[in-house]
Amino acid sequence: MKNTQASTAASRGPADHEVRNQIVAAATEHFSLYGYEKTTVSDLAKAIGFSKAYIYKFFESKQAIGEMICANCLLEIENDVRAAVDEVEGAPEKLRRMFKTIVKSSLGLFFQDRKLYEIAASAAGERWSATVAYEQRIQGLLQDILQQGRLNGDFERKTPLDETAKAIYLVLHPYLHPLILQYNFDNTEEAPAHLSSLVLRSLAP
């Protein structure tokens, strides 16, 4: 399936956010009942009461609608993570909170609805733009925490910052990626504490 940009979809047709939000809300409900893969744009049109052509004025494909739903879910996770990080002082504790909250929020949003999980799985497996942008923002937040820790003397400064951020992100990745996360259920209770402690020891000056 060809990747599409949610921003591209946003530029099609009238800039009517209310209608777009109505389509996304109805699509979310429909996907949760029947699944993303089994639902067509025609199915959505019938469920919403719009014509198929009218939906295409706002979204160029089913994937574009899925992108919007996926982006909304990922934004919820990101907001949870940023709120948790902002609640505490000091880079080490911020890093611990980041690990803990990412795992908790990812589990909650990706697996509370098995049908909607199909969207997250498709997005991750096919590298939709929404997931790529999310991963970049999480890496940016991680790099900000590392930079703060270096400035305060909590973390070592010899390793290039981008290299350190990438390495820690790879440690987090199994708990960010829905296709991999489903195979780590047995570790989700203890993993955040163990992994963050290991990472912090490696960052000691």
Q: Is 29 helix (H, G, I), strand (E, B) or coil?
A: helix
How would residue 49 be classed by pLDDT, with cut points 50, 70 and 90?
confident
pLDDT tens for residues 139-189?
999 999 999 999 999 999 999 999 999 999 999 988 887 777 777 777 788
The C-alpha atoms of residue 164 and residue 6 are separated, in whole angstroms, by 31
Q: Distance between CA atoms of 17 and 58, rounded to whole angstroms? A: 9
Query: 83 exposed, middle or buried (CB, 10 Å; 0-12, 13-18, 19+)?
Result: exposed
105-136: pLDDT as tens digits: 888 777 776 666 778 777 877 888 888 999 99
Specify the DSSP class assigned to residue 142.
Answer: H
CA distance 75 to 156: 31
Dihedral of alpha carbons 158, 162, 167, 171, sign: positive
What whole-number distance in Å separates Cα of residue 52 and Cα of residue 55? 5
**What's the pLDDT at 201?**
96
pLDDT at 46: 87
Q: How far apart are the first and last CA of the chain?
A: 46
